[in-house]
Structure 1
Amino acid sequence: MGERIAIQVNDDVFEFDFAIAGTGYFVDPTKRPELADFAQHIALWRDRYEPPEDLRDDNLGMHPYLGSAHEYQEKVPGTAPYLKDIHVFNPAGLVSFGLPVGDIHSIRRDVPAIVSRISHDLFFEDWAHHEARITGDIAPDFEESLYAANLWKQPAKAAVS
């Protein structure tokens, strides 16, 4: 009790009861426990782009290389096709889009692209079912006997001799 945190800035010393450390965003998917089972398949920026030496930044290189709807991309095509179904709406998208992702301002810009892709993918995942419904026979709602007597029928034309 009574211990304080002392910070020296140039010649000044500041004392505090506690510190809140803003450490930035750590986005390396290979270090996230919820992604551990497949993180090795996620393409990172360092897998797709090698900047000139004077512009190299290892932190930027560990960001995921996202598709246009914020979906993970496969490091090696064909090895993890399920990654396209995982969309990232958080600061990990910064490098892929060049803008902050996951904040209030990005909702209007990014959410429509994500929703559109998810809707598209869900529809085409079931395309065979939809096509069968569109092109198949449609069962009548009611049997013809329930309304046939009420249909107007054009009188038969008299035969011309």
Structure 2
Amino acid sequence: MLQKELAGDNLELQKSLKKAASVGVTPQSYTIYKGGTLETNTKGKYLGKFLGTAYTPSSEECGNDKGITSSGLPIVPGVSIAVDRKHWPYGTVFYIKGLGYTVAMDTGSAIKGKKRFDFAVLDKKFAYELGEEYYDVYLVKLGNGKIDESIMS
């Protein structure tokens, strides 16, 4: 059963990667995730379907031209997500089927409600290609308002 579930998750992730390749993803300012606290073997507790969109480190979408999140740390494309802090504290780790493990480290004016997130990506074309979609979301670890900076190294 677990092997079948993992195979399904890998197919979802491959679809996301194919979308990125189809638009010719080009890097902007960002930090690359090099491992650390997100390495886990659990999906956590299923929270339901969340509406997800994507954003980039650009000044139009990030609020500054340095790719800095509202938590004060740099965006980590493919890991950082913006959430509504009324529901999710910084540092909360989610597993999002088709996107992988993510960390709540940003907010956004359009991100309202418990079941809404904005996923950080490298490229505006890719963000547009991802569009709005509902994703299965799992809570791996509830944050404490701080972000473990080991995800940055």
Whether TM exceeds 0.5 here: the answer is no
Flag the structure with higher helix content.
1
- TM-score of the aligned structures, taking structure 1 as reference length: 0.21
Give the greater-gyration-radius structure (CA). 1
Flag the structure with higher strand content.
2
- Of structures 1 and 2, the one scoring higher in RCO (CA 8 A, sep 6+) is 2
- TM-score of the aligned structures, taking structure 2 as reference length: 0.22
